[in-house]
Amino acid sequence: MENYYLIIIVILFALAISDLIVGVSNDAVNFLNSAIGAKVTSFKVIMIFAALGVLFGAAFSSGMMEVARNGIFHPQHFSFNEIMIIFLAVMLTDVILLDLFNTFGMPTSTTVSIVFELLGSALALATIKMATDPTSLSIAEYINSSKALAIISAILLSVAISFIAGAVIQFFVRLFFSFEFTERFRYFGSVFGGIAITAITYFMLIKGLKDSIFADMIVFGEPLKEMVKHRANEIIFLSFAGWTIILQILRWLLKIDILKIIVIIGTFALAMAFAGNDLVNFIGVPLAGYESFKQFIHQPEVAFLSPENFMMGGLAAKVKTPVYFLLIAGIIMVITLWMSKKARNVVKTSVDLSRQDEGDEKFGSSPIARSIIRQTIALNNTIVSILPKGINNFINKQFDQSQYNKRMKALGKEAPAFDTLRASVNLIVSAVLIAYATSNKLPLSTTYVTFMVAMGTSLSDRAWGRESAVFRITGVLLVVLGWFFTALVALTISFGVAYLLFYTGIFGIIIMLAILGFIIWKSTRNQSKKEKTEEASTHIIESVATKGVIESCKAEIVESLSHFSSMFKGIFNSLFVEDTREMRRYYKQIQDINKKSRKLKKEMYKSVENIQDDLPEAGHYYVEVLDYLREMAHTQEFAGKIMLDHLENKHINISFAQIEELRKLKDMLCHLTDDMKSIVEIGDYERLPEIEAYSAELSDYIASLSLNQVKRIKGQQDSKKASLLYLAIIHEAKNYNSQSLSMIRSQRDFVIHK
């Protein structure tokens, strides 16, 4: 029996490593987005300071297992067997949930996920006890529901306060310094730096060291944490004066960039606080399980109780975590920071939503976002009409970005998402809010604070312009809704997993581990494919600038036509033999091709900007080719979709006569596509009349197919669904024929003209 629970302990620690990896990948956005977004230094230097912060935070943490003992449930009412099921269900759910959020690049709160997973799994075991034991307690005696309500309240509080504080403070900072802040920083930079680093220093003392191994160290006759609390004003004043003088001297002697120093120190501080306080979100539950196992096996032999009867009241006591556990966890976190591409994906979401230019808007629009924009514009117009003209002119001058935009355009792809002034404000406001909340025991989330402060500062900086506001607001709403979704899904999944584990035992554990492995494998595979697609589109954009528009477009046309020909053969042949599996595989490939074409069309603006000035016609040509390729890809995707739906719905397949006609249509489409590919590849446009003649022949054949099908419909020779499928296919073939001919003509005209 002990071996069974020892296996569970091993699984818990294995899951803890996985949880550290996926958890850090998500929470890295808390301390990396400002430094990476502002590009204060190289990525490696940023990661070094973040890694040092994580290691210091892990080493100095007291490691209290707060999450497992903080009142989500009352452990004294659960047996050892039930506690182990609760903890295992929590860890399985947490790894799955955080990995899914990382895959979609959505930042979420690890604290919320772990708390609601504990709530869900404990609730499952409580309901089982109530259903099977007539002497069981009430649900209120097993579960502390007030904790869940406190977390929900914290979400609302964090979102509102952080966003408003970030927006208001950034507005006044930008109003004073403007986007051309270099000159004014010569006089006020050290003062601003003194305020900023003082806020960050105080934050490190309050948030980063409040429960560290130094918290009880005697300083000036009292413990450090009490000294910080009682002498807060003195610490703030001396820190401000000291940092202001130091920065001014360094500026005189070394010409340092004060803003970069602020951002680097702020990144270190937030990383340190994250590791020192949020580390238990990842390893607290496994360590609580380990402590439970030790209590069970060390119980007195004279009255040795079974796992079902040994109650876990001992978990209510505070238990210190060995330092070596914390150091190992810190090392894993550092390695993850360096290696995880999903961490960069989550950071990218936060940076993209707060970047100064339009950028690549990954979110669509929504009715709520449109309504918010309308109301905001109306409010802004009202305020402008009330304020004197002189004040409006002054504000507009301070927020004028024309020179800033020119500098960013000159930097090209090396341009930061926003400047170091805003990055500094992000870190200062986040540090102050978190330090204040911690000192007053307010349950604010680090994730919520840092993300919403960044959104507020970007709003004040007018980064959410008319071109991008609807997409940014939609993105922020989706992220915020995702936080609530985290709580609901975490509770629901952990509830179900706990039920499964209770009734299936070791078989349920094997099933869940298999599911977990499949999900991680699938998400990793999808992430890899996504990265390859992005790399391909980035390569094309860069090749426009390096190789020239003609060569880059030629390569793209040849590759696309090759894919189109192959996919036509695949989907038609799969339809003829009713092979749903193969059809699904080919349709997935077609979707990937279409996504790539959409990405290229979306990046068209950047590509055109990179085209050399001595090719004024090139931009027009490039846009035309992208349009035609996009339509051709869309046509093929639509044809594949209707074929796949027909097979999956198990409708009557097309008749022998229809198959024979479509087989010839397939051959003609592939022949046309292959000939176009050959012409573009070798540049033999003198053969274009042959293509035009063949295209006309194909058009006539498609028309004859339509006439034949109408006759069959009147004679009721084919089923209704097969007839509709047939007509839809030939319609898409007609569109493909037209778009491909336009594309090859456009290519010919440009090359000959050039």
pLDDT tens for each residue of 272-297: 777 766 666 677 788 888 888 888 88
pLDDT exceeds 70 at position 689: yes
Percent of the chain with pLDDT over 90: 7
Question: Does residue 528 or residue 480 have the better pLDDT?
Answer: 480
Q: Which helix (H) or strand (E) holds 665?
A: helix 656-682
Q: What is the pLDDT of residues 712-742, one digit of tens each?
A: 887 777 778 888 888 999 999 999 999 888 8
Range with lowest mean pLDDT among 16-20, 239-243, 455-459, 496-500: 16-20
- What Cα–Cα distance (Å) separates residue 168 from each residue in 165, 173, 355, 423, 424? 5, 9, 18, 15, 15
What does DSSP say about strands 222-223 and 218-219: parallel, antiparallel, or unpaired?
antiparallel
Question: Does residue 360 or residue 669 have the better pLDDT?
Answer: 669
Distance CA 287, CA 714 (A): 74
- What Cα–Cα distance (Å) separates residue 553 from each residue in 437, 556, 623? 55, 5, 10
Range with lowest mean pLDDT among 10-14, 324-328, 357-361, 733-737: 357-361
Distance CA 180, CA 469 (A): 24
pLDDT exceeds 50 at position 415: yes
pLDDT exceeds 60 at position 652: yes
Amino acid identity of 352?
D
Mean pLDDT for 252-274 is 83
- Look up residue 300 and give its two tokens: 């007195």
pLDDT range class, residue 704, cuts 50, 70, 90: very high
Q: Buried b vs exposed e over 165-195: b needs ≥16 C-beta within 10 Å?
A: bbbebbbebbeebbbebeeebeeebbbbbbb
pLDDT exceeds 90 at position 668: yes
Cβ within 8 Å of residue 9, ≥6 positions away:
286, 289, 290, 293
Mean pLDDT for 249-266 is 85
Mean pLDDT for 208-229 is 68
Q: What is the pLDDT of residues 425-434, one digit of tens each?
A: 888 888 788 7
The predicted structure's pLDDT at residue 268? 85
Mean pLDDT for 628-642 is 88
Percent of the chain with pLDDT over 70: 78
Q: Look-up: residue for tokens 């609530």?
A: 484
The predicted structure's pLDDT at residue 694? 92
- What Cα–Cα distance (Å) separates residue 586 from each residue in 233, 521, 734? 68, 21, 21
Distance CA 61, CA 278 (A): 10
pLDDT exceeds 70 at position 680: yes
Mean pLDDT for 239-246 is 90
The predicted structure's pLDDT at residue 63? 47
Helix axes 182-203, 258-278, angle to 10 degrees: 20
Distance CA 730, CA 562 (A): 21
Range with lowest mean pLDDT among 368-377, 381-390, 536-545, 636-645: 536-545
Q: What is the pLDDT of residues 115-130, one digit of tens each?
A: 888 888 989 998 888 8
Q: Quickly list H helices, 61-144.
A: 66-69, 80-103, 110-132, 139-142
Range with lowest mean pLDDT among 154-158, 169-173, 547-551, 569-573: 547-551
Q: Quickly list H helices, 400-548.
A: 402-411, 420-439, 446-460, 469-504, 506-546
Of 203, 157, 24, 28, the closest CA to residue 483 belongs to 157
- Let me know: does 312 contact 295? Beta carbons within 8 Å: yes
Burial class (CB in 10 A: 0-12, 13-18, 19+), 479: buried
Question: Does residue 357 or residue 670 have the better pLDDT?
Answer: 670
Distance CA 697, CA 398 (A): 65
Of 72, 70, 80, 77, the closest CA to residue 121 belongs to 72
Range with lowest mean pLDDT among 79-83, 120-124, 750-754: 750-754
pLDDT exceeds 60 at position 314: yes
Q: Which helix (H) or strand (E) holds 218?
A: strand 218-219
Q: Domain segments of the chain: what residues?
A: 2-504, 528-753
Q: Look-up: residue for tokens 């991008």?
A: 468
pLDDT range class, residue 64, cuts 50, 70, 90: very low
pTM (global) more than 0.85:
no
Q: What is the pLDDT of residues 338-391, one digit of tens each?
A: 776 656 666 666 666 666 665 555 555 667 767 777 777 777 778 878 888 888
Mean pLDDT for 490-498 is 90
Q: Quickly list H helices, 231-315.
A: 232-254, 258-278, 280-297
- Let me know: does 500 contact 125? Beta carbons within 8 Å: no
Mean pLDDT of all residues in the chain? 78
Neighbours of 317 (CB within 10 A): 9
528-753 homologous superfamily: Phosphate transport system protein phou homolog 2; domain 2 (1.20.58.220)
Of 438, 440, 57, the closest CA to residue 269 belongs to 57
- Look up residue 530 and give its two tokens: 């996504």
pLDDT range class, residue 666, cuts 50, 70, 90: very high
What secondary structure letter does DSSP report for 686?
G
Total residue length of the chain: 754
- Let me know: does 229 contact 239? Beta carbons within 8 Å: no
- Let me know: does 70 contact 291? Beta carbons within 8 Å: no
The predicted structure's pLDDT at residue 700? 92
Distance CA 599, CA 92 (A): 35
- Let me know: does 269 contact 204? Beta carbons within 8 Å: yes
718-724 long-range contacts (CB < 8 A, ≥24 apart) are 718/654, 718/655, 718/658, 719/651, 719/652, 721/646, 721/649, 721/651, 721/652, 722/646, 722/651, 722/652, 722/653, 722/654, 722/655, 722/658
Strand-pair partners of 218:
223
Look at the alpha carbons of 546, 599, 530, 20 in this order and tell me if their dihedral is positive or negative.
Answer: positive
- Look up residue 712 and give its two tokens: 């069959």
What secondary structure letter does DSSP report for 223?
E
Cβ within 8 Å of residue 152, ≥6 positions away:
484, 487
